[in-house]
Amino acid sequence: MTVLSVNVNKIAVLRNSRGGDAPDVVRAARACLDAGAHGITVHPRPDARHIRHGDVLALSVLCRERGVEFNLEGNPFAPPRTGYPGFLALCEQARPAQATLVPDGDGQLTSDHGFDFERDGQALRPLVAALHDLGCRVSLFADAGGAVQAAAATGADRIELYTGPFAEAFAAGDALAALAACADSAGRAHASGLGVNAGHDLSQANLGAFLATVPHVTEVSIGHALIDEALYAGLDVTVRAYLRILAGA
């Protein structure tokens, strides 16, 4: 069965909007795990707009205690700065089970594209090797329809398909082409020896259709939609709803 990693970035956004410690990111992550989520994802930004250095370390401890996956996302090329030691340094401190590399810039509101592996592959290879030395499985953010098989040459273990275009097409009522691109990319990645993750704008509305069409998906990372839905139904009910979709896929 495809596993669910819950991204709790948005809990930190709400906390930071007011200051203080409420809502508590670790408590929210614990509630998701209590409901059956298989892991926790965070994507700390260098500007600390949501998840902070201390959150990363605290969530790492929680996931180790629970025996679940901690997935740390970030741009490995972003330079260190005050409050952000750099992605590799964070991984060295937190030792996540999975490190997901994402080519996002400081000015991006959210991740919106994958790597160009033919262009970026040489620069990624030593970073992938360094993360393997830390004991991390490495996943690379990838555009559906791109040369995803080229990610294998970096030494990475998985790709994470960027599903934003699929979600947008699904909402517009015409997702066939986007689904075909995702399915083709997942098949090519799998044939190249890569595992397949998926994430960005997946929701209860579109997840079933995605998994019914796209093969080989080992893990989905879901944050924004899940937290939105949980505002009305609660974290426990919402996480369990996603788990039912995964079980039925």
**Rounded CA gap, 156 and 127, in Å?**
10
Look at residue 66 in the predicted model and tell me its pLDDT. Answer: 98
**Rounded CA gap, 132 and 134, in Å?**
5
What range defines the domain where residue 69 resides? Answer: 3-248
Give the residue with greater pLDDT, 129 vs 104: 129
Which uninterrupted H or E stretch holds 218? strand 217-222
Q: Are 161 and 142 in contact (CB under 8 A)?
A: yes
How much is the average pLDDT of 190-194?
97
Look at residue 120 in the predicted model and tell me its pLDDT. Answer: 93
Alpha helices in 158-234 (DSSP H): 164-171, 176-191, 207-213, 224-233
Catalytic residues: 43, 73, 200
CA 97 to chain centre: 13
CATH number of the domain residue 80 falls in:
3.20.20.70
- Split at pLDDT 50, 70, 90, the class of 49 is confident
- Split at pLDDT 50, 70, 90, the class of 104 is confident
How much is the average pLDDT of 107-115?
68
Q: How many domains does the chain have?
A: 1
Please say whether the dihedral angle defined by the alpha carbons of residues 105, 187, 119 and 89, taken in this order, is positive or negative: positive
- Per-residue pLDDT for 237 more than 60? yes
How much is the average pLDDT of 116-144?
96
**Rounded CA gap, 166 and 84, in Å?**
32
How much is the average pLDDT of 58-69?
98
Q: Residue 37 in 3-state DSSP?
A: coil
